[in-house]
Chain A
Amino acid sequence: MNPLLVFLLLLKASATSFSGLTSMPVVRHDFVETRHAMTDRQLNAAVAAGRTAPGPNGLYLVSVGYFVAGWPGACAGCAACLVPAFLIIPLLHYLGRRADRPRVKSAIQAVTLAAAGLVIGVTVPLARDALTGWIPVAIAVASFFFLVLTRRETLWVMAGAALVGLVALR
């Protein structure tokens, strides 16, 4: 895939995201459903790689870029992660006072809820691909409760899941 196109698509995903994985529905729509540039399993692996490495949650875009276009794609993913951070400054300057208006707050909150719904919609096909037995299901459920209840680093969840996989799934 053309790295410039990869950058533009990942930038769209990154710019419409406001929390780690909320860019995922856009990424899946563009790269898996529309362009068939990657599979659900690769997208899932990109999320796993992005959340295992230290850094911001959206870092999985680098992995997506690498999957679809190699090193140039990874660089495009990295740039797509960084650019919205610079755009947010003039945006906040413009929106700053307006963001306190009840209707604007309500609209932002509705977008947050819709993003959660979109993430659920994307999780279903990825779960269908990754959860092929009771042990993977148990790992997914345990990861969910561990993160919700303890809010520890995802690195520990990934390391623990890899260890359980090594012992139980070989």
Chain B
Amino acid sequence: VVLLTSGYQAWQHNAVAMAAIAGTLAAAVGLMATSAWQLLAPSLVARDWRRVVRALAIAGAAVWLPLGFGMSPVAVLGLAAVAGFLWQEPEQ
């Protein structure tokens, strides 16, 4: 990992290397989206609409709270734990 990182720093002014790096940076965005999808998917593909609504509400609030109120990610996770404790997931 350190070799790859130092390689990025060393070659960031080389046009050929930057083309390859730009490709991997774009792929990294795809990876992040995959990571989010893998966490959300089990709730979003549920047949029970109440689970889908709950998932969208909690994930949507987690997107919105840091942007709207500058809330830190740790505080958002803590708030989600409390919300989840109070608003139970419907039984399957």
Q: Is the interface of A mostly helix, strand, loop or mixed?
A: helix
Q: Does A49 have its Cβ within 8 Å of any Cβ on chain B?
A: yes
Size category of the B interface is 35 or more
How far is B1's CA from A126's CA once the two chains are assembled, in angstroms?
20
Of A118, A157, A160, the contact of B76 (CB 8 Å cutoff) = A118
Q: Is the interface of B mostly helix, strand, loop or mixed?
A: helix
Query: Which residues of chain B come closer than 8 Å to A164, judged between CB atoms?
Result: 23
Interface residues of B in 65-91 (CB under 8 A from A): 66-67, 72-74, 76-77, 79-85, 87-89
Q: Would you give 20 A-B contacts (Cβ < 8 Å), ordered by A? A: A22-B35, A47-B31, A49-B8, A62-B2, A103-B88, A106-B85, A108-B84, A111-B77, A113-B43, A116-B35, A120-B33, A122-B32, A130-B26, A139-B26, A139-B27, A146-B30, A160-B27, A166-B23, A169-B22, A170-B16
User: What is B's interface to A at a CB cutoff of 8 Å?
Assistant: 1-2, 4-6, 8-9, 15-16, 19-40, 43, 54-55, 58-63, 66-67, 72-74, 76-77, 79-85, 87-89
With A120-B62, A160-B27 known, 20 other A-B pairs at CB within 8 A are A16-B77, A44-B25, A63-B1, A63-B4, A107-B84, A110-B89, A111-B77, A113-B43, A117-B76, A119-B32, A120-B63, A121-B62, A122-B32, A139-B27, A146-B30, A147-B31, A165-B19, A165-B20, A165-B22, A165-B26
